[in-house]
Amino acid sequence: MQSAASWSALFHGRRLAYTVLLTLSIGIHALGMHMLGTVLPSIVTDLGGAAFYAWATLLYTIASIIGTVCGGLVTARLDLRRGYLVGALVLLGGSVGCAIAPHIAVLLLARTLQGLGSGLLVAIAYSMVSELYVDVLRPRVLSAISGMWGVAALLGPMVGGMFAASGWWRGSFWITAPVLLPLSILAWYTLPPGESQRVPGPVPLLRLALLGIGVLGVAASGQVMSLGLRVVLIGSAAILVGWAFYLDARAANRLFPSQPLSLNTSVGTASWIFLLFGITTSQATVFLPLTVHVLYGVSLLAAGYITALLSIAWTITALYSASLLDRWVRLAVVLGPLVMVSGGVGLAVSIAHGPLPLLGLCAALIGAGIGVCFAHISSWSIMAARPGESILTASSIPTIQSLGIAFGAAIAGLVANTAGLATEISLATVTAAATWVYQLGIIAPAVLAGLAWRLVRLHQRMQRGIRLQNIRAEY
């Protein structure tokens, strides 16, 4: 029977610095994502380039996924300390480039750098969880990471709105510097130096290109009107991403752990769960602001905060469930997806007719279901990693989740446009689109619930094997 670790254990000795580094790194990334939407209209008004409005978000998203993919490789070639500094330097350069951008093209290039740097920091933060925290502390620190997303969901639109209202949108990018510089100094003096590893083979440019082009295809599918072209882009993207995984499994310098998508292993099963987490959250939230704005007359700002209920509930339940142990953890892993299913069903049956508080409650249920089990599934995945692959396994978690978010949003957009949203935004088209999106959105959490049962069985089998090995070692 494990003994519970307290929250204060995250702040003892050098772990104080580690916890500050990884939570604030995640916080910078999350705040930047939630803040951009409120300052982007001011940016376009000042710099022009309305035709490239969506690309400021798309390029950042694509680059951040590539950054998270490279996190394990960068850490292996450099070490945690130098890898962190590289990520911080790239992010700082991108943020300063956005702040001084004289033209929309410069801003888009800087946003790409910003995404790459933030993705690296996110992956390195998860690598720190694997390398610097013992098993019993991982659910706590992973829950703290979830907490940063909830804080960012609340503060991001507010802070961005303050800069937009003041007429100084550039300040939303300048604020990164006074946070990143102290963090970089803290990382240099506190993260343990390690020997850079000889990673066989060159930089895997082909696999990175396949992933990047695949994610670009997913993102571009939201910008085209033709239904056939959307299907082709999403299908091609899935093939390219699958090809990247296929090549990676046969490479010496892997970006992902061994058998990352095998349902016969805990790591592979958890990866599918992380993918479905991303799909579920994006399908639940991508059209929710538009739906409640059009159907219920709620302002866009208020609609954004209704959507943020998912992140807030995720944070609250994650912080609560971090103290669970043994059979309660197994119960949480099974129960969480079932709560998600209940929230998805609630949205499907009430999205068109309300009442509005029920929609907010159902969105919160989806977030609560993820929050109650996400940290434990992440911890199990890292624990089950093959020898020498814990960093790759940890850094792959945000990558696979981000891929799920991208594909979930693209599929939701395809369904919505097929239901008539592409023709016009009206009461009838939004009602039809939302109905179809949320009815089909039940599939992902339902599959996820089945995978959670399998993961529990695989974890129990692994635990029995460990106990048997320990008994044999004693004799």
Max avg pLDDT among 155-164, 197-206, 315-324, 328-337: 328-337
State the pLDDT at residue 468. 75
| Measured distance CA(443)–CA(310) in Å, rounded | 18
State the pLDDT at residue 1. 45
Q: Which of 54-68, 163-177, 187-201, 394-408 has the lowest mean pLDDT?
A: 187-201
Q: Say if residue 73's pLDDT is above 90.
A: no
Q: What is the pLDDT of residues 163-175, one digit of tens each?
A: 888 889 999 999 9
Q: Per-residue pLDDT averaged across 48-59, rounded?
A: 77
What is the pTM assigned to this prediction?
0.89
Higher pLDDT: 458 or 425? It is 458
List, in sequence order, the alpha helices (H) in 351-387.
Answer: 356-383
Q: Say if residue 328's pLDDT is above 50.
A: yes
Higher pLDDT: 339 or 37? It is 339
Share of the chain above pLDDT 70, in %: 95
Kindly give, in sequence order, each residue whose CB lies less than 8 Å from that of residue 28, ignoring residues fewer than 6 positions away: 91, 118, 121, 176, 179, 180
pLDDT tier at 5 (50, 70, 90 boundaries)? Answer: low
State the pLDDT at residue 376. 95
Single-letter residue type at 448: L
Q: What is the pLDDT of residues 270-305, one digit of tens each?
A: 999 999 999 999 999 888 888 888 899 887 677 877
CA distance readout (Å), 32 to 7, 91, 98:
27, 11, 12
Q: Per-residue pLDDT averaged across 34-54, rounded?
A: 80
Q: Say if residue 445's pLDDT is above 90.
A: yes
State the pLDDT at residue 195. 61
Q: What is the pLDDT of residues 366-418, one digit of tens each?
A: 999 999 999 999 999 999 999 888 888 999 999 999 999 889 988 988 898 88
pLDDT tier at 4 (50, 70, 90 boundaries)? Answer: low
State the pLDDT at residue 199. 56
State the pLDDT at residue 197. 55
Instruction: Decide if 250 contacts 429 (C-beta within 8 A).
Output: no
pLDDT tier at 91 (50, 70, 90 boundaries)? Answer: very high
Q: What is the pLDDT of residues 226-260, one digit of tens each?
A: 888 889 999 999 999 999 999 998 888 888 998 88
Instruction: Decide if 136 contacts 6 (C-beta within 8 A).
Output: no
Q: Per-residue pLDDT averaged across 50-57, rounded?
A: 75
Q: What is the dihedral of CA 309, 311, 317, 320, to 10 degrees?
A: -120
Instruction: Decide if 159 contacts 36 (C-beta within 8 A).
Output: no
Q: Of 341, 218, 221, give the one whose Cα is nearest residue 284.
A: 341
**pLDDT, mean over the chain:** 88
Q: Say if residue 465's pLDDT is above 90.
A: no
Q: Say if residue 116's pLDDT is above 90.
A: yes
DSSP string, 3-56: PPPPGGGGGSTTHHHHHHHHHHHHHHHHHHHHHHHHHHHHHHHHH--GGGTTHH
Domains, the chain, in order of start with CATH, read 13-193 (1.20.1250.20), 254-475 (1.20.1250.20)
Tokens found for residue 420: 């008539």
Tokens found for residue 454: 């399998």
State the pLDDT at residue 24. 93
Q: Cis before residue 157, ω within 30 degrees of 0?
A: no
Q: Say if residue 145's pLDDT is above 60.
A: yes
Q: Which of 92-106, 116-130, 416-430 has the lowest mean pLDDT?
A: 416-430
